[in-house]
Structure 1
Amino acid sequence: MARSPPLARLLPFPVVDEAWRLALVPALLGAATLPLVPPVGAGLLALALGVLWFHRDPDREPPDADGIVVAPADGTVSVVREEGSRLRVGVFMNVTDVHVNRAPIAGEVREVRHRPGANRPAFSKESDRNEQVAIDFGEYELLVIAGWFARRIHPAVAAGDAVDRGERVGHVSFGSRADVVLPADVDEDDLLVREGDAVRAGETVVAERA
């Protein structure tokens, strides 16, 4: 993992490492343009700061309880449905939400798969066909789905990695959805959320396993 620059200490919030690379170009252009065309320079510097803010990465405290499933992302529950013999819960991440994804349940990563696809709005039904990254934990699967503007999904785990519940497993840039296909022993009566509920990654309990 790349080391964050010294400037990171000046920010009032932590950010993912990728944010610095994305913010670099508007920051440099803004600094160069500010003395010549102040409004344009100020706008570019504001854009750089906005990119950093979008990629903020706050710490979270997962609940200390057995048999629970926590939300994989910040946002609004947009999908609750049966998928074969399993339940699928999806969280839509708006542009103002934190876009760091977390493991809903502790486990070992079996496989990380990338699937190319479309770029429909992440809150639409057609977004199931979008580009996505699947993190397969065996008993459950986490799917990070790109939105119409998102083009960068960054998994932070690989096959063989063991993760704790609520641990960071990656992030995605600029609007998307994170779905968890729950273990087979979780049924509808175990769910604690429904469509429209606001959730926080790693902290909100979305289901209790019997």
Structure 2
Amino acid sequence: MRMSEVVLKPMHPEGWRFVGIFAVITLLLFWLWEPLGWLGTILTIWCYYFFRDPVRHVPQGDGLVISPADGIISLLQPAAPPPELGMDPTPRMRISIFMSVFDVHVNRSPVTGTLVKMAYTPGKFLNASLDKASVDNERNALLLRTDTGQDIACVQIAGLVARRILPFVKDGAPLQAGERFGLIRFGSRLDIYLPEGVEPLVAVGQKMVAGETVLARLTGEQVPRAVRSD
């Protein structure tokens, strides 16, 4: 692998205008006082890395649930899915992934299936690592149905500094596991509600990689070695 591929990551188009704004401000800071300009340069580089959208190698196989977000598992407990999705309110295993401002914020589909319903709910901007953020914070909930008829809820949750949840898909859209479906700007969280009876293969504190880390298996099959770059 070339050094340029390690340092220079692809950036999502959503980030170009923010990097441009940071760059203009940096030029003004250099004009005012050079040390401030160097601080602006660091922040501009950070902005570029925040919107990075690297290629991921998606595990292939029936029944795999792949992490939809980069970050750390912050909560792992039973909970009722968001009421706006109209799902059975019986608690099911919820996996919460906290994304810091240093993580990739492009979200990817955890399974191959169809987006049955998407529902946006306005709310507060509490610390996304708190349990009550699932209920109180601004969120965008997606109901995904696999080809075998199993339902999985995936919820984008705004955090302290997040102020925009951007979906890339619409109701009825077919999705491949690992396919990009949205982005949250500047720090946030993503919850996944597994089908009843499905247990997670991850633990609290574990680092997730969107489109690559296997969260659970909907079947008893072993995790295959085949991958798809996306």
Alignment TM-score > 0.5, same fold = yes
Percent sequence identity is 37
- May I ask how many residue pairs the two structures share in their alignment? 198
Tell me how far apart the structure 2 counterparts of residues 20 and 208 of structure 1 sit (CA, whole Å). 37
For the pair 1:132 / 2:144, whether they are aligned, the reply is no
CA distance in 2: counterparts of 1:154 and 1:43, whole angstroms: 29
Deviation digits for residues 48-81 of structure 1 (CA, Å, limit 9, x no counterpart): 2211111111110111222111111111111222
User: Among 141, 162, 167, which residue is 1:150 paired with?
Assistant: 162
- Counterpart pick for 1:205 among 214, 218, 221: 214
Q: Distance in 2 between matches of 1:90 and 1:27?
A: 34
What's the offset of the Cα at 1:183?
2.5
Amino acid at match of 1:187: V
> Where does structure 2 lack aligned partners over 5 or more consecutive residues?
1-6, 80-89, 146-150, 220-230
Q: Provide structure 1 residue ranges, at least 5 long, that are not aligned to the other structure.
A: 1-10
Which contiguous aligned blocks of 4+ residues in structure 1 show a shift greater than 4 angstroms? none
The residue number in structure 1 matching 2:188 is: 176
TM-score by length of 1: 0.87
Where in structure 2 are the equivalents of 1:1-210 lying within 5 Å? 12-83=8-79, 84-128=90-134, 129-138=136-145, 139-184=151-196, 186-188=197-199, 191-210=200-219
Q: Which amino acid aligns with 1:174?
A: F
- Against the structure 1 CA distance between its residues 196 and 36, is the aligned structure 2 distance closer, same or farther, given a 3 Å change threshold? closer
Change (3 A) 1:33 1:81: closer
TM-score, length-scaled by structure 2: 0.80
Deviation at 1:36, TM superposition (A): 4.6
Aligned counterparts of 1:26 and 1:45: Cα–Cα separation in 2: 8
Partner amino acid, structure 2, of 1:117: G
Distance 2:216 2:180 in 1: 19
Shift of 1:46: 2.4
- Write the letter of the residue equivalent to 1:34: F
